[in-house]
Amino acid sequence: MEYNPQFWQALDQLLARSALVIDRPKGSSHPRFPEMVYPLDYGYLENTASMDGEGVDVWVGTAQPPALDGLLWVVDLPKGDVEVKLLYGCTPQERELAFQFQNRPPYLLAQLALRPVAPLEKS
């Protein structure tokens, strides 16, 4: 598979031009499933649209300076839904926490994709 820097740059542009709204702070409970507690800040990009018609979802970590480090693809079988969640400023441990929150077999399944390092230019 070929590295596509334009894909990641386009996501960077969405992050740069959209306000990040944290509607589920770290430690808060999921509105429909109170036993699910958010391990990180979680929100969305204002004035964007995801596959569910809502704003693009974002997990926000503590890494400084923050940058888009990856994404999660999430399949929600009961809802018949697939979504993409951006990982912004997440340490390796925080990426794992977000993955574990989103990956709850057999009904909620996630796949982590880390942002690749650009291949070195050949001289």
Q: Give, for all 123 residues of the chain, the pLDDT tens digit.
A: 678 899 999 999 999 999 999 999 999 999 988 999 999 999 999 999 998 889 999 999 999 999 999 999 999 999 999 999 999 999 999 999 999 999 999 999 999 999 997 655 444
Taking the CA atoms of the chain, what radius of gyration do you get in angstroms? 15
Q: What is the pLDDT of residue 119?
A: 55
The candidate with the shortest Cα–Cα distance to 59, out of 17, 32, 99, is 99
Q: What is the pLDDT of residue 59?
A: 99
Residue boundaries of the structural domains of the chain: 25-114
Please tell me the CATH superfamily of domain 25-114, with its number.
Answer: Inorganic pyrophosphatase (3.90.80.10)
Amino acid at residue number 98: A
- Do 90 and 59 contact (CB within 8 A), yes or no? yes
Three-state DSSP state, 113: strand
Residue whose structure tokens are 């340490």: 91
Q: What is the DSSP letter of 30?
A: P
Provide the token pair at 31: 């509105």
> Where is 114: in which H helix or E strand?
strand 108-114
Q: What is the pLDDT of residue 2?
A: 78
Residue whose structure tokens are 């990856």: 70
Q: What is the DSSP letter of 32?
A: S
